[in-house]
Every structure is written in structure tokens, then in C-alpha cells.
Chains A and B, each alone.
Chain A
């Protein structure tokens, strides 16, 4: 199942990336090469194998319901590309 240029554009859109046409072409070639290698997995019959989701058995104990120290407001906004004193600022979305 070869990946087409349209496929690359489609997944780029899902991944919120914007690719110029020449990059679409070269990434298409890369992806086909890599996915071609991954098809090696088809050699294995995994009909009765359960997918492995956790390499260690996850422990999910209840924690005490205690208030911790939240990140101070000022710190949380420190790395914002655009913010006022209280909020992250984003471009207008309602026309």
C-alpha cells in the first residue's frame, strides 16, 4: 500500500503541518521506504497474541486528596508567545 502525495497532504493536515510541494514529494519517498521496511511485521502470525500496552503492570493506587502547590499564575504565563496578566492570547477566531 504505497503512500501517495495526497496521503501525505492528508496526514500533514491531521498533524497540523503545512508542507511545500517539494517537501511533500521527498517525504512521500521517505515514508514509503520506512513503511516498506515496517511491512516486515506481516511475516509474523499474531492472530492469538494480545497487544502489549504496558511493559510493566501499571499500579494505580489512590492518592491522598490533598491540595498541592499549583504553578503560580505568573510562571504559567512566562513562556507564552502572547499573554496579558491573566490569559494566553490567541488570534481572533470569530469573524
Chain B
């Protein structure tokens, strides 16, 4: 799969036109996506119209830096006039009324947006199975999951349905599916890319990043979407470098290898792939390996799931069926309340003494129709995993448990960040596998939430620390499934990730 710049060259030379490129992808989607199920919607007519408009700019020599790119968008990033459903029944008819900042910036540079991509509901999941649209299958083995939550984005790039996609990463949701589908996935530093227009899951973790077939394209797209935005106060006023200029920079990179990331639970073939790759890089003089200690890494999943679910329970409180989203039938609500009232009144007639008093209290405490409407709308609208996380988050924030869970996890989060700060005072990068295994079978981890959560074990620490990280294809298992290698770098050092990524690419090409 070609780099965006070579497509651009062909466009400039007149060898091909952008409508032809768009048509190539649209045809592939039409033919193959009924199996993969990466896209939830594609507006062919609009895509071709936009392609023609961008082509005109190319012809006139005034096209932006991303003219020639064809980009899919995860269905939780607002694109004006399009449904942004988050793969949830509660938002299945929600139409965005503005463009997210990242979308504005992509359009400004003439990226062609091709369609909306499947995902786990509200980005909660590691397999793109928690979705109202049905699972996204792994294009490399359609009996297996694409990973998640940005499974549609990873699968679309792997299946050559577009040359790049945007995903979002809260605990590994860009990197783990990238690893499972054999593509490049970048989680930028917290505060590097604006989240204005990104539907919130856990705001102290969420970030948007590119998923591409090669490192250069990731660097090119990050350059466009990164930078301060007055509409997202968490964005940093840190200069956005020309990331592509770092790709070929020479010099040996000092890479920390934490034994904690290569321990129990790691699949043997994944380990071998990653270790062999590192050995070869070292032999070529690209890197120097040094051991580093990350003593709190083993607490990262527990910490992450306390904090992320707490934030989710608060963020998802906005879905009440009043201003937007699914609203339950009010007639049904009234019927339910009337039925319950009658039942209790009947019980009161037959009861006496203390029981009667208790029942009268229950009767008086019945929810008002409005409260019941909130409840019914939310219950009908959210899927099981989302409810599970809302309940968990509500629990860890509730009186009596706040200190034991939420405050405790915030403290451990500091210890985890300090592990990274210590390590980065000595090394340029930290390396690990992206995920403990390759893509698992559909349905395999659905009954065991903890096992599903452990998919994030190597990726969640970067979100806890707010640093940047990239997943790159690291070769394949014997059965042909791709494995992923992850490099992590200190805040705002994406340049180092791209340099390392380029070296891995050169080695494997």
C-alpha cells in the first residue's frame, strides 16, 4: 500500500485522478466490506463530488498537504451533517451539527473523508464486538476480531479500503487493533491533538490519532491534526514540528526494555517476534538496548479501569433522552408506573402493621415519570459493556468507596507516571509488545470482562502517564497473524517514535 506522497506524485503528474482513486476504494468497500464490516456508512456521491473538487485544486496547484489521502473516520468524531453514533443505540440517529477540530484541519489540507468506521460502543471494548452494527472482522482472518475499540479503523486500513483512518485511544484503542490488523497506530501525547468534537469516554485519557499503512503517513497526518485549539483547554501550546523531517534522521536510539512487559501472560510467539526484531535493530546499529524498571506496571490495568470507568460514568450522564439521543416511549413509562402503583396498593390492602408502613414508603418513593424516562431511555440505549462500566464507575465514586478505589487509583497513577519519568531521564524510548497475544477468535473473550481488560495491559500505562506511543507491525506468527511492537516516548516526543518506526519498517521491508 502506497504512501500518500506517492499517490500525490501520481496525481500531480496526471497519471491518475483523485476521483479514480476514490472509485478504487469505493469499489473495494462495495466488494469486500460486507464481510469485514469496517464501515458503518459511506456516502459515495459526496465522496466523488469532494474528490472532483480536490482534483480541481490539484490541477490549479493550490491543493493542501493531504490532497491524495483518503481517510476513514471512527464513528465518535463529529463530521457535520453525518451521523455520529458511537456504535450505540442511544446515538444511532444523532447528526453532528459541527465538525470536530481534527476534521476541520483534515478538510483544510484537502484530505478526502470516505466514511464512518465501526467501533466498540463509546470506545469501550477491545474487539469491536460491542457494537449495534455487528462486529468488524479481521481482514487477515475473518474468523477473528479486528481488535478494539478502533477496530473499524484498523480493519479499513488493513483491507485497503482507504489509505488512513482516525481512531481514538483511551487505554489502547488505537494501538491494539493496529497490532491485530498489522497496521501502524499512533497514540499522540495527551494534549497534542484537540478533542473538540470527539465524543468523551474518559477525558483524562482520551486522545485522537492516525492509523496508517506506513510511518510516514502517520507523521504527515499528525502534523496536520496536532496543535493548540482554543476549544479544547487541554491542548498544549507546544510547537508542532515537521514530523516527516525526522524520519531519516540518523543516530542510535537508546531503548529501554522493561522486563515487566515481557513477563507472565505474554504469548511466546509474540515475545519471540519482538525480541528478534530488537536484536536485529541492535545488530544494525539502529538502537542500543538497556534494561529499565517499571515496578508499578502490574497495577496499570486496575488503576486504569477504576479511573476510566469513574470518568465514563460522569461523561455518559449527559445521555438522558432530553436534548438528543434515544428517548423511551413516555406512554410506556406511564403504564409501567401505573402498574407498579396498583401492585403496591393491592399489597398495602392485604398488609398490616410494619409491612404496611414500609409499602407505603415504597409507594411514595416511586420515581416520577421524568426520572423514569431518563432511566428507561438510558437502559434501552446503552449496551451491556457500557452499563457495566457506568455501574463500576458509579460504584468507585460512591460515598464510602471513593477513597478506597478512586483516590487510591489516582495515587497509583502518579507512581506509574514517575516510573516513566525516571526511565525517560536515561533512555529515548521504551519498547514492549503492543498486546499480549495476536487477534483472538470472535466471541472468545466475551464472557470474561477481566480477561478482556487485560488486552490493554501493555498499552494503558501510556495513557495513565499521558505520554505518546506507537504500534508497528513486527512480523507475523506462524499462522500468519500479525504481531505488534510498541514504542513509547516522553511527552511531545513523537519525533522519536517516528524515527524508531522508520527503522523497523526499513528492517522488515
Contact = CB atoms under 8 A, between A and B. Distances in A.
Contacts of B371: 16
A35, A44, A50, A55: which has the most chain B beta carbons within 10 Å?
A55
Given A17-B379, A35-B395, A59 B237 contact: yes
Contacts of B301: 37
A31 to B, nearest CB: 6
A51 B410 contact: yes
B93, B302, B330, B405: which has the most chain A beta carbons within 10 Å?
B302
A85 interface: no
A23 to B, nearest CB: 8
A9 to B, nearest CB: 10
* Range, interface on chain B: 35 or more
Contact of B395 (A31, A58, A59, A60): A31
A80 B378 contact: no
A12 B395 CA distance: 9
Given A27-B388, A38-B305, A16 B375 contact: yes
A56 to B, nearest CB: 5
Interface in B394-412: 394-395, 398, 404-405, 407-412
Interface in B288-328: 296, 298-299, 301-303, 305-306, 313, 317, 320-327
Contact of A14 (B321, B325, B376, B394): B394
B137 to A, nearest CB: 26
A34 B305 contact: yes
A8 to B, nearest CB: 7
Contacts of B95: 78-79
Contact of B369 (A17, A43, A54, A93): A93
A43 to B, nearest CB: 8
A41 B190 contact: no
Contact of A37 (B230, B302, B325, B408): B302
A23 B55 CA distance: 54
Contacts of A76: 97
B302 A11 contact: no
Contact of B370 (A12, A63, A93): A93
Contacts of A7: 395
Nearest 7 Cβ contacts at the A-B interface = A55-B466, A51-B410, A79-B324, A81-B327, A52-B414, A46-B411, A18-B375
Given A49-B414, A60-B233, A79-B323, 13 more contacts: A15-B391, A18-B379, A19-B387, A33-B449, A34-B450, A38-B302, A41-B409, A44-B415, A50-B414, A52-B413, A56-B191, A81-B326, A93-B370
Interface of A: 1, 3, 7-8, 11-12, 14-19, 27, 30-31, 33-35, 37-44, 46, 49-56, 58-60, 63, 71, 75-76, 78-82, 88, 90-93
